[in-house]
Structures are given as structure tokens and as C-alpha cells.
Amino acid sequence: MGEIKFQFHDIERVLKEMAMASTSLEPSLPKDVVKNNQLDVTKKIEQVNMLLETIMTNYKELLAQNESMVRSSVEAMKATDQSLKTSMSLQGVAEVEK
């Protein structure tokens, strides 16, 4: 089986970029499109804007959850990597002592 190499600093950089992107996403759209207008199209635009705002808010929450899951996975991989490293070191010491 081959080796899997993780560049943890690259992963951390991407996670920070994801967090910054999701934080800077502002899902608020104009609310007063229909204010003094009786055209049906403006009412439809307001409905579409409200739906779009909901979608953007849900997307922002999904990005935050994704970033959190990736961060947890990276931490688990670091712990596993350290555990394997320790195990292999102990195994090497045991071989030398034989």
C-alpha cells in the first residue's frame, strides 16, 4: 500500500480562506423593492430576493459546517499520524533491542 501525504499547513490555509469567504458572504438583499410600486414584476422580484436570501443563508451555514468537519478530519488525521509515528518508533526500538 502506498503512502498518503498530507500538507497540513496547506489544508489550514485553505480552511482559513473558506472561513473568511463564508464570513464575508452577506445574504441580505434590498427589502423595499415594492415600496411604492404596484407592478407585479416588482412583487415577483421581492419574492425571488427573499428566496435567494434564504438560499444564501443556508449556503453560508453549510460552508461553516463543511469547514468544521474538514477541520475535525484534519485533526483526526494528525492524531492518527502521530500515533502511527509513535508506534513505528516503538517497534523500531523493540527490533533494535532483540
Q: What is the pLDDT of residue 94?
A: 63
Neighbour-count burial for 19-55, b at 16+ CB within 10 Å, e otherwise: eeebeeeeeeeeeebbeeeeeeeeeebbeeeeeeeee
pTM summary value: 0.64
Residue type, 72: S
Ordered by start, the domain boundaries in the chain are 39-98
Would you say residue 52 has pLDDT above 80? yes
Provide the pLDDT for residue 43: 79
Q: Is 1 exposed, middle or buried (0-12, 13-18, 19+ CB in 10 A)?
A: exposed
Chain segment 14-46, per-residue pLDDT in tens: 888 888 887 887 777 666 666 666 777 777 888
